[in-house]
Amino acid sequence: MSGGGNPGGGAERRAFARVVAPLLARVRGGARTTPPARLARALAPATRMQTVQRLHHFPPFRPADYLALNPDAARARADPASHALFVGAGEGRTLFQPERLARLLRAPQPHDGAIAAPHDAVGASAELAVGLYVSSHGNVFMREIVTDLAADLTAAGIAVTVGDETAPIAARPARAIFVAPHEFFTLGAGPRWIREEVVAHAVMLNTEQAQTRWFALALPFLLASRGVIDLNAQMAALLGASGLPALHLTMAPPLAPALTRADREHALFRALPDAAHAAPQATTPLAARPIDIAFFGATSPHRDAFFARHAAFFADYATLFHCRPIGRGPIHAEGAEGGLARLAQHVGGHAKLVLNLHRDEYGYFEWHRIVRLGLCAGSVVVSEPCLPHPLFRAGTHYFEAPAEEIPRLIEWLLRTDDGRAAAQAAQDNARRLTETFSPARTATAVTALLRDG
């Protein structure tokens, strides 16, 4: 593993005895055994110390900030990094000072590794066997990521197995990627996978935004791993600064999944105009698309207020908005809501515009909604200002405006000649760019991380 010097040296062992051992005693003494606390017990001393050291090098984390945010840890004279990883993360505490995190996320980031990788490096990776793991109890969107990644790796000639937490641990391939570790290692039988030989030798694919408690829950597993993948360029760069091998990945455009009979009986599908019942084509020009504006996402105070303020404006357009209450938890692949992910992609393929509203003030470039549901479906995305992406450019591949100016931007794009021409140009530009995202390049970047991490 990389980073952190020599965690097995005498000074580090003494530091472990002074800092982490009391924390483990607290866990053994009856404190609630959260997955991060269980991880603290499962990791070898050298790996634990390296994990703590990586947090010290992770730019959003500052010990003084953590103690100010968590006064009880200061009163207990706990080591802030160890407490944050193995206690605070599992208890849903705030790990980072928000203003510092926001400043770091706005910093310039390097170019996308998956796109920059050369084609001719793939041949040497074809003999690899890779295991992709995702929780059977988690959000259906995580399964979509696994499906897309498996398709890219398989198309590049790599042997891929896909499993969940019910798979036999001993049968996993030597090269394993765990998607959404905050779900995999915490739900169902996932905690039984919390072992040194699993976590420290695996690559983790993070899906969560840094300001959320879900990212905090994932962080101990990210920092204890051999490498990380992130769909967000800023977070990949920040995790890389901790000493972890890190990859920002942009996968090839996904194939639109076919709707099932149950999907076609869903109330959402029945509400579509007749012209939107056929299978969508990403190449369909904007003028031929029957839905003006689409939005799929969880509710939040910011989103709710936006739609309430502009309800009269949107009533004048052919729209389909699906705002799911966030309190209902993740969307599971099975059950009444299992088809929502397929329906969202279907709708995106029939919409002129896909709307992207951030759930809070951090303004992430939401890969799933902007790229997967929007640009890869041939829709033009209209978004609030996003953190910069190394490949997709506002005004070229999609459009940005502050929330209060979005109605005016939509009206220009849909109801003026200049705006319609600009929207069609953005659709064409996005298609040309996404067509360069090949399975070969995904495989090159991912297998390089698996080999070298």
Q: CB-based contacts of 282: which residues, under 8 Å, 6+ apart?
A: 253, 256, 349, 376, 377, 378, 431
Q: Do domains 112-253+438-452 and 261-434 have the same CATH topology?
A: yes
Dump pLDDT digits (tens) for 129-160.
Answer: 999 999 999 988 899 899 999 999 999 999 99
Dump pLDDT digits (tens) for 242-300.
Answer: 999 999 998 877 777 789 999 999 999 999 999 999 999 999 999 999 999 999 998 99
Residue 334: pLDDT band (50, 70, 90) is low
Place of tokens 């919409």: 351
pLDDT for position 333: 66
| Fold (CATH) for 261-434 | Rossmann fold (3.40.50)
Q: Rounded to an integer, what distance in angstroms lies between the CA atom of residue 81 and that of residue 195?
A: 21
Asked whether the predicted pLDDT for residue 123 surpasses 90, the reply is no
pLDDT for position 32: 62
Could you tell me whether strands 246-248 and 291-298 are parallel, antiparallel, or unpaired per DSSP bridges? unpaired
What is the CATH number that goes with domain 112-253+438-452? 3.40.50
pLDDT for position 108: 65
DSSP state of 33: -
Lowest pLDDT segment from 11-20, 256-265, 370-379, 390-399: 11-20
Place of tokens 């009856």: 30
Percent of the chain predicted with pLDDT > 70: 87
pTM of the model: 0.86
Residue 110: pLDDT band (50, 70, 90) is low
Tell me the average pLDDT of the chain: 88
3-state secondary structure of 162: strand
Asked whether the predicted pLDDT for residue 389 surpasses 50, the reply is yes
- How far is residue 171 from each of residues 40, 65, 190, measured CA to CA in Å? 24, 42, 15
Lowest pLDDT segment from 100-104, 113-117, 209-213, 275-279: 113-117
3-state secondary structure of 322: strand
Q: Rounded to an integer, what distance in angstroms lies between the CA atom of residue 330 and that of residue 84?
A: 25
DSSP state of 257: P
Q: Would you kindly state where each structural domain of the chain is located, as residue ranges? A: 10-104, 112-253+438-452, 261-434
